[in-house]
Amino acid sequence: MNIDGLNSAFEQKLLEGAKEKCKTIVLPEAGMNEHVLNAGIIVAQNKIAKIVLLVSDEKLINKFDVKENDYLKIVNITNSDLLPILENALYLKRKDKGLTEEGAKELLKN
């Protein structure tokens, strides 16, 4: 597999290692930032990792006609049943840095 801009053997080895592990990456900025959205799409298309795009507004998703597949999921956090799970996961991940449960809810609203 060759991705534009990755030319060295080292970069290709890193890419192959990531692809073998096939981690899941959650991108909360995907609904607001074209660069983040495009990066997520590239990673998913190349099956490097599974991508979850968290959006509160689907304008960019619709603009780029993004379609879900096995490697790309779109979660609209304004009406998703996953919202309480996401809030709790964010809180647990960042509580050591001072984030409160209420703060996690507010972060996901924005």
Q: Long-range pairs for 95-104 at CB < 8 Å and ≥24 separation? A: none
Q: What is the pLDDT of residues 57-87, one digit of tens each?
A: 888 889 989 999 999 999 988 888 888 998 9
Global pTM value: 0.74
Q: Is the pLDDT of residue 2 over 80?
A: no
Q: What is the pLDDT of residues 24-52, one digit of tens each?
A: 999 987 778 899 999 999 999 999 999 99
pLDDT of amino acid 3: 62
Residue type, 110: N
* Distance from C-alpha of 10 to C-alpha of 20, rounded to nearest angstrom: 15
Q: Give the CA-trace dihedral at 94, 44, 74, 104, to 10 degrees.
A: 10
pLDDT over 60 at 1, yes or no: no
